Amino acid sequence: MALGVAVLGTGRIGGRYIDVVRETDGVEMKVVAEPREEQVADLKARYPDMDFVADYREALAAEGVDVVIGTLPHWLHHEAGIDAVNAGKHVFLEKPMALTVADCDEMLAAARANGKLLMTAHTQRYYPYNQKIKEIIDSQELGEFVMAHVMWHKPLAPESRPP
């Protein structure tokens, strides 16, 4: 049985999640929530078999949705995350999880209370070199860990960034 997925928001990265879900075994793309028609016109043309709704709450109520991928504006992460776990969905949110620590704590408490998973897209934790660094820190072979400063360089690619 495939897990049903809803994508909430199709901004800078949300549309890519649709492709990833459709290409992944064991999951099924169920519904996309996006209030901006101009933002989904191309997606609707490319995926005429998919459901699109304007309000994310409609996606949470859609039949067969088990997991929610949230790519909404940052200020909506808290509300949508809590609404999703309260609706019985597991949640994968783009970063940041929320705008305040208190909001994050509230989201985690709601996920626990509902027995649902809540994850933020800090996916670099799974990169082998980051796992190795964590292993070295945990081993304390270099002494007690006090602080780390990491810098990551990548091309700016202004043509692919939102205005």
Task: Return the CATH number at 89.
Answer: 3.40.50.720
Q: Based on the domain organization, do 141 and 73 belong to the same domain?
A: no
Q: Based on the domain organization, do 73 and 136 belong to the same domain?
A: no
Print the domain residue range for 150: 130-160
Give me the pLDDT at residue 116, please.
98
Between CA 151 and CA 11 the distance in angstroms is 26
Residue 125 binned pLDDT confidence (cut-offs 50, 70, 90):
confident
Q: Based on the domain organization, do 119 and 136 belong to the same domain?
A: no
Q: Is the pLDDT of residue 151 over 80?
A: no
**Which token pair is 121?**
């897209």
Between CA 60 and CA 80 the distance in angstroms is 9
Q: Is the pLDDT of residue 112 over 90?
A: yes
Q: Based on the domain organization, do 107 and 49 belong to the same domain?
A: yes
Residue 33 CB-density burial (10 A; 0-12 exposed, 13-18 middle, 19+ buried): buried
pTM attached to this predicted model = 0.80
Domains held by the chain: number: 2
pLDDT, tens digit (0-9, with 9 covering 90-100), for 127-141: 888 899 889 999 999
Strands in 67-70's sheet, in edge-to-edge order, are 51-53, 27-33, 3-8, 67-70, 90-93, 118-120
Q: Based on the domain organization, do 81 and 104 belong to the same domain?
A: yes
